[in-house]
Structure 1
């Protein structure tokens, strides 16, 4: 089941009174949420961009991090995978505000959105402001929580270079744009009971992205930005480790 885009804002308004939780930081908060009992059916939802939703730039359809996670889950649970649907903005990229449907009634939801919100540029300027990102993320995670009230929700942080500095409006000194957007998205995720898992340190390890020019799943070739097989493996290991999977 899915929740279509027409109800996202309504759902967000109805549940906007959720208690504010601490912002997710470098290490995920403890205790780790518990999934359904081993051996039972588990509905596994995926909602994301090229890295999470489509698994682009992995070498094979079994190598994206969400596929690796699914295979790991299948060792212990009876898995049904549910994919949300996204579209693209005027820059041709998938963002927090371009979600068309969200999964419904799931036990585990993994989200990978926000990298394009953080990094997309037009005419040399960033397209999305922190306010844009906060509003879109809050709407999305509120809707996800309403549609999946018993789910463990994890959101992958921004895949990008955390050393790139940017002067936020109203700030006196340049800050890491990636870390800023991780904080904004993490706050919205935490408000709705989920946790953001940072991954920019994995991006900063060139072995997870390079070399460019290798053949990849879906007719792509590695481009030096998206994770290669090693990068997808690293993301999977981080999320699986946080979930403390058997």
Structure 2
């Protein structure tokens, strides 16, 4: 199936340079648990041999590829190399900043890639996991509002494109109470469902990856050199983890 994004766009506010601005519609004050959405596939709608604009925006894992041993072994670079076997690829990067906790999250996207045929978005892990003074910083409604604004802007800036939203990189066994009456549940799975719901609203493809985090071989050991002056920290994906993310996204895109 080739996605017809033009029929799925929602309102967003963009300047000519595709600067990202929040949309006016906010999430409801109280949200019911979001459903698990079925997996979908979407081949890239560009004939082989043609130019393909490849957009990337994300956090340390997606935007910077941190904790891979080299920039060429980051998952977005591996995906770019795979695309280049079939298309003439030009990469277009969005820009992000950091919040008060010093992390990159859904609400700190400053500009989105535009005019692309394929865009990968890797934001939301910090929205799920960021803590301050022992408390989680972001609520489900915060994440829903920020994700809805970002993916609406992404759809408007890239009509006709396939947009991939990478899920939360984190431990699905992390338990959390939505409120005093709720039973403990997986915070990572809950946040993944929010991202999946927002992706579905905009015709984007949600690709969960938390199960990959569960394999210690994809993020351990800690203390190994990584590009950019980093050393592996046991949380971020190592080379094998980046390759696993790349392969999952490539499979979902049905790449040749």
Normalising by structure 2, what TM-score? 0.87
The residue matched to 2:73 in structure 1 has which SS? Answer: coil
The residue matched to 2:246 in structure 1 has which SS? Answer: helix
Q: 2:40 corresponds to which residue?
A: 29
Structure 1 residue 28 displacement after superposition? 2.2
Structure 1 residue 170 displacement after superposition? 6.6
Paired with 1:94 and 1:44, the residues of 2 have a C-alpha distance of 21
Paired with 1:131 and 1:23, the residues of 2 have a C-alpha distance of 15
Paired with 2:166 and 2:104, the residues of 1 have a C-alpha distance of 14
The question of whether the paired residues in 1 share the 8 Å contact of 2:44 and 2:118 is answered with no
Structure 1 runs of 4+ aligned residues shifted over 3 Å read 22-25
The question of whether the paired residues in 2 share the 8 Å contact of 1:24 and 1:197 is answered with no
Q: 2:248 corresponds to which residue?
A: 238
The residue matched to 1:116 in structure 2 has which SS? Answer: helix
Paired with 2:181 and 2:190, the residues of 1 have a C-alpha distance of 12
Number of matched pairs: 234
Paired with 2:17 and 2:221, the residues of 1 have a C-alpha distance of 38
Of the three residues 202, 215, 220, the one matched with 2:225 is 215
Q: Per the alignment, do residues 2 and 79 of structure 1 end up closer, same or farther by CA in structure 2, a change over 3 Å counting?
A: farther
- Does 2:238 match 1:228? yes
Structure 1 residue 100 displacement after superposition? 0.4
- Does 2:211 match 1:201? yes
Q: Per the alignment, do residues 2 and 110 of structure 1 end up closer, same or farther by CA in structure 2, a change over 3 Å counting?
A: farther
Q: Per the alignment, do residues 72 and 171 of structure 1 end up closer, same or farther by CA in structure 2, a change over 3 Å counting?
A: farther
Summarize the alignment of residues 50-199 of structure 1 with structure 2, pairs less than 5 Å apart. 50-169=60-179, 172-199=182-209
The question of whether the paired residues in 2 share the 8 Å contact of 1:2 and 1:103 is answered with no
Structure 1 residue 224 displacement after superposition? 0.2
Q: 2:56 corresponds to which residue?
A: 46
Q: Which runs of 5+ in 1 are unaligned?
A: 15-21
Q: 1:18 corresponds to which residue?
A: none
The question of whether the paired residues in 2 share the 8 Å contact of 1:2 and 1:84 is answered with no
Q: Which runs of 5+ in 2 are unaligned?
A: 1-15, 26-33
Q: Per the alignment, do residues 2 and 225 of structure 1 end up closer, same or farther by CA in structure 2, a change over 3 Å counting?
A: farther
Q: Per the alignment, do residues 211 and 2 of structure 1 end up closer, same or farther by CA in structure 2, a change over 3 Å counting?
A: farther
Q: Per the alignment, do residues 107 and 114 of structure 1 end up closer, same or farther by CA in structure 2, a change over 3 Å counting?
A: same
The question of whether the paired residues in 2 share the 8 Å contact of 1:24 and 1:190 is answered with no
Normalising by structure 1, what TM-score? 0.91
Structure 1 residue 35 displacement after superposition? 2.3
Paired with 2:133 and 2:180, the residues of 1 have a C-alpha distance of 22
